[in-house]
């Protein structure tokens, strides 16, 4: 007689084997389920992305989702800035961008060196530090 833990492991292995032996059937089942629940799946994914972004912006915005320079608070125009620059190179090294970067920050327990900025302040910073072609031409 199997205990509950052994039975759970047996079921897990059986299901894994079944999926491997019948990939076409498994894909069809998954597709049907996705199509049936598509609206809920997409709504839940959107909600999760918003929650992750808001948590990261709050952490680096000193417990508020606001720009640390000007206080702007519309989340649609806020993003994370590398304080010392080099965000593009860092994203290439990590192989993530956008939401993947926010998740990376959460997963790595919010490392230091980042801040919440609005797009205007971020652009001004880039121009002032000559990190853009336009910034180099302006000075």
pLDDT score at 45: 95
> What mean pLDDT do residues 14-37 have?
95
Task: Look at residue 139 and tell me whether its pLDDT is greater than 60.
Answer: no
Q: Residue 124's CB: how many other CB atoms inside 10 A? A: 15
Q: How confident is the model at residue 30 (pLDDT cuts 50, 70, 90)?
A: very high
Pick 2 or 45 by higher pLDDT.
45
Measured at the CA of 125, the angle between CA 56 and CA 91, to 5 degrees, comes to 50
pLDDT score at 133: 63
The per-residue pLDDT for range 1-20, each reduced to its tens digit, is 678 888 889 999 999 999 99
> What mean pLDDT do residues 95-119 have?
92
pLDDT score at 135: 47
C-alpha 138/C-alpha 128 separation (Å) is 9
Q: Residue 128's CB: how many other CB atoms inside 10 A? A: 11
| Residue 41, domain extent | 4-138
Distance of CA 68 to the CA centre of its chain: 21
Q: Residue 64: what are its φ and ψ, rounded to 5°?
A: -135, 145
> What mean pLDDT do residues 124-135 have?
73
> What mean pLDDT do residues 67-88 have?
90
The per-residue pLDDT for range 79-105, each reduced to its tens digit, is 999 988 888 888 889 888 889 999 999
Q: Residue 6: what are its φ and ψ, rounded to 5°?
A: -65, -40
pLDDT score at 1: 65
Strands 78-82 vs 114-118: parallel, antiparallel or unpaired: antiparallel
- Overall number of domains in the chain: 1
């Amino acid at each position: 007689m199997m205990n509950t833990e052994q039975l759970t492991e047996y079921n897990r292995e059986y299901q894994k084997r079944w999926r491997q032996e019948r990939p076409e059937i498994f894909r069809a089942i998954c597709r049907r389920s996705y199509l049936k629940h598509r609206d809920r799946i997409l709504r839940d994914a959107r909600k999760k992305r918003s929650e992750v972004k808001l948590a990261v912006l709050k952490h680096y915005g000193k417990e508020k989702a606001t720009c640390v320079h000007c206080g702007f608070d519309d989340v649609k125009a806020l993003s994370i800035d590398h304080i010392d620059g080099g965000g593009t190179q860092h994203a290439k090294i990590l192989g993530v961008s956008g939401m993947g970067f926010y998740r990376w920050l959460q997963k790595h327990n919010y490392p230091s060196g980042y801040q919440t900025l609005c797009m205007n302040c971020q652009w001004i910073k880039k121009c002032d530090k000559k990190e853009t072609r336009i910034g180099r031409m302006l000075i």
